[in-house]
Amino acid sequence: MKINGGGKKKMVTYPTRYRACKEKKYGEVVVKVEGGYAVMDAVEYRIWRKQK
């Protein structure tokens, strides 16, 4: 996730899981989304998973 000037987080998708794993940091997870793979922190993942 990248932070824009307004404090909102922008979802970045990667074409392959390998590329997403290279970009993730400690405490983040790689998830499959429409259009590829995304990286999000564990707290956001739990919220996203419950909404899904």
The C-alpha atoms of residue 5 and residue 18 are separated, in whole angstroms, by 28
> Chain centroid to CA 49: how far?
12
Tell me if the pTM is above 0.75. Answer: no
Q: How far is CA 3 from CA 11, 18, 51, in A?
A: 9, 22, 22
Amino acid type, 35: G
Q: Identify the pLDDT of residue 26.
A: 92
> Chain centroid to CA 16: how far?
13
Q: Is 12 in contact with 39 (CB distance < 8 Å)?
A: yes
Q: How confident is the model over 8-43, as pLDDT tens digits?
A: 567 889 999 999 999 999 999 999 999 999 999 999
